[in-house]
Chains A and B, each alone.
Chain A
Amino acid sequence: MPTNVINGRSFTVDEEGFFTDRSEWNEDLAHDLAALIGVDLDEAHLAPLRFMRSDSETTGTTPTLRRMQAVGGFDIKTLFALYPGKPAKKMAWLAGLRKPVGCV
């Protein structure tokens, strides 16, 4: 497994660059990663990440956008605005979770 190091913090990733070990994540690391993709991690950006962390802790899988709406109560439109392009993948990466695999 490849290891990424950013500003002295290291974490293991799969061949696409997604986290493989959720325990290697913390919010400081997330802030550094966010800067790489041009995201400024304010409270609005952090809220969905925190939900994803706690939800995946019980389910064992990275939640899909649909689950973030249905269970987390997040507005899909807002998520797309916060993380334009590929919201589910960006959020999974910034939350230190595996690549999302759900279809919906």
Chain B
Amino acid sequence: MTTVTMPPAGYELSEGFILPNFGDGMRSSPAAPGASAESAGEARGAYPIGPRKMAFICSKGNLDMAYPALIMGNAALSEGVEVHIFFTFWGLDIVNTKTNEKLKFTLAANTAMHMPELGRIKPGLEHMSMPQAMGNLPGMTGFATRMMKKQMADLEIPDVPEFLDLLQAAGAHMYACRLTFDMMKIIEADLHPGVEGVISASDFIEIAEGAQIVFV
């Protein structure tokens, strides 16, 4: 929340008028009373005070591992945060248009796998983790993937290609990892148009200067 300090000329505001924090415009100084701008800068480390910046590193290509960064990145953008996303290793599948429609979700090695629907058969069953061997049954990955996609769609969450469109429109900066790109023999035409470039790890480290980094 922010208290308006300087309303436009001719405006009459009540005492203690509460303006939501929109991250810009007229807001009272976020620094502690008496603290100078310089010491506030020191408290945040050596980085200059500017718009908030976040960098996401997507290293996984499973469907369930694609969503966290896409959702958080999108949320950050709508909070006015500058967002950079680096797709590396299996994460490159998220921006590869030949694969990103077909990302899969598997039960295998996911001990947190339980199904809310099972509670209807017997109460308590919805909290039981599925036997790991089930993940290896033929067709199980396809089944689990379809189910997750349906659950996401029910919550009005876009699928991965459409999510990338959304991020691109909202102004996200997306990059593909050079090493993975060469290793997987990907061609640039296959990358989602929102990907700004194929860059090296050190390029990304430079871009991410001053950012809060989230590794997925």
Contacts and interface: CB of A to CB of B under 8 A. Distances in A.
B80 interface: yes
Interface of B: 1-2, 4, 7-8, 11-14, 16-26, 71, 74-75, 78-80, 155-158, 166, 169-171
* Majority-rule SS of B interface residues: loop
Contacts of B20: 16-18, 89, 93, 99
Contacts of B80: 84-86
Nearest to B21: A16
* Majority-rule SS of A interface residues: mixed
Contacts of B4: 36
B12 A6 contact: yes
Interface string A3-20: 111111010010111100
22 contacts: A2-B18, A3-B14, A5-B12, A6-B12, A8-B12, A10-B14, A16-B1, A16-B21, A18-B20, A32-B11, A36-B4, A37-B22, A65-B78, A66-B166, A80-B170, A84-B80, A87-B78, A90-B22, A93-B20, A104-B74, A104-B155, A104-B166
Interface residues of A, number: 39
B155 to A, nearest CB: 8
A94 B20 CA distance: 11
Interface of A: 2-8, 10, 13, 15-18, 32, 35-38, 64-67, 69-70, 75-77, 80, 84-90, 93, 99, 103-104
Nearest to A102: B156
B17 A76 contact: no
A72 to B, nearest CB: 13
B14 A6 contact: yes
